Structure 1
Amino acid sequence: MEAYQKVYNYLEDIGIPYEIVEHPAVFTTEEADKYIEGKEGVPTKTLFLCNRKKSRYYLVIMDDRKSLDMKKLGDILDEKGMKFGSSEKLMEKLSLSPGVVSIFGFLNNDSHDINICVDREMLKDKIVTFHPNDNTKTIFISTDDMFKFLDSLNYKYEIIDL
């Protein structure tokens, strides 16, 4: 089964409606945004990060038009030396490659060993977008359903001000 089909099936199983936009493969948020321009919803970026010791991993979800201040994030989380997690760890933990990172990778992570941080500012929008574990598609779901999805997998999340 294709990775995106697993996402669609899961969303349907838990009663989350979604809309899909198909497009050529994209590897940056700037590229992806071109294909969803004019549609309602906040385009998100989902960043896979770790602390200096690589002992804790984080998925940070924010509006893709915003820049992440790693020092500020480290201060908020009381972590030193925040940096991007390696592509190997990303594959190991979420079965995803760079450019495809989204909350839907949690379907592949039974160990619940990744901390989720959601930027409060993006919650003003009613719709959010992600790749459904495939960078040739962008999925639109409601912000409330993003939390419903995380709750259905028993993931805790922290809402922070980036």
Structure 2
Amino acid sequence: MERAQIVYDTLKQLDIAYSIVEHPPATSTEEADHYIEGKEGVRTKSLFLINKKKKAFYLIIMDDQKRLDIKKLSSILDEKRLKFGSSELLLEKMNQSPGLVSPFGLWNNTEQDVQVYLDREMLAEKVVTFHPDDNTKTIFFLTTDLYKLLDALGYPYTIIDL
């Protein structure tokens, strides 16, 4: 079964309505934004970060137009130093590749050791967008359903001000 279909089936089981826009492969949020121009919804970026000791794992979800202030985030998370996780570690923890990181990778995190942080500003929007484990598609659903998804996956989340 194609990975995007697993996303669709899971959302259907959770009674989460969604819409899909299919487009050529997008390797960056800027490129994906071009294909979904004019559609309602905050364009998100999901970042996989780790601490210096590679013992704490973080999924940060924010508006793709916003630049991550990693020093500020380190302070919020009470970490001395954060960095982006390697593609190998991302594959191990979430079975995703760079450019496809999204909350849908959390169901592959069998150890449930990835901590989820959502930027408050992004949550003010009615609709959020993600790649459904496929960079030729963008999925749209209600921001309130993002909470529902995370709860169903068993992931507590923290809302932060980036």
Which TM-score bucket, shorter chain as reference? Answer: over 0.9
> Residue 83 in 1 paired to residue 83 in 2?
yes
Q: Which residue of 1 aligns with 2:144?
A: 144
Q: Which residue of 1 aligns with 2:102?
A: 102
Which whole-Å CA distance do the structure 2 matches of 1:54 and 1:31 have between them? Answer: 31
Which whole-Å CA distance do the structure 1 matches of 2:135 and 2:79 have between them? Answer: 30
> Residue 71 in 1 paired to residue 65 in 2?
no
Percentage identity across paired residues of the two chains: 62
SS at match of 2:80: coil
Q: Which amino acid aligns with 1:13?
A: Q
Q: Which amino acid aligns with 1:120?
A: R
TM-score (norm 1): 0.98
Which whole-Å CA distance do the structure 1 matches of 2:128 and 2:53 have between them? Answer: 32
Q: Which residue of 2 aligns with 1:128?
A: 128
Q: Deviations over 1:24-52 (max 9, x none)?
A: 11111101100111110000000000111
Which whole-Å CA distance do the structure 2 matches of 1:31 and 1:42 have between them? Answer: 15
Q: Which residue of 1 aligns with 2:115?
A: 115
Moved more, 102-111 or 122-131: 102-111
Q: Which amino acid aligns with 1:38?
A: G
The offset of 1:109, in angstroms, is 1.5
Q: Which residue of 2 aligns with 1:53?
A: 53
Backbone CA RMSD of aligned residues = 0.6
Q: Structure 1: give runs of 5+ residues left out of the alignment.
A: none
Q: Which amino acid aligns with 1:66?
A: K
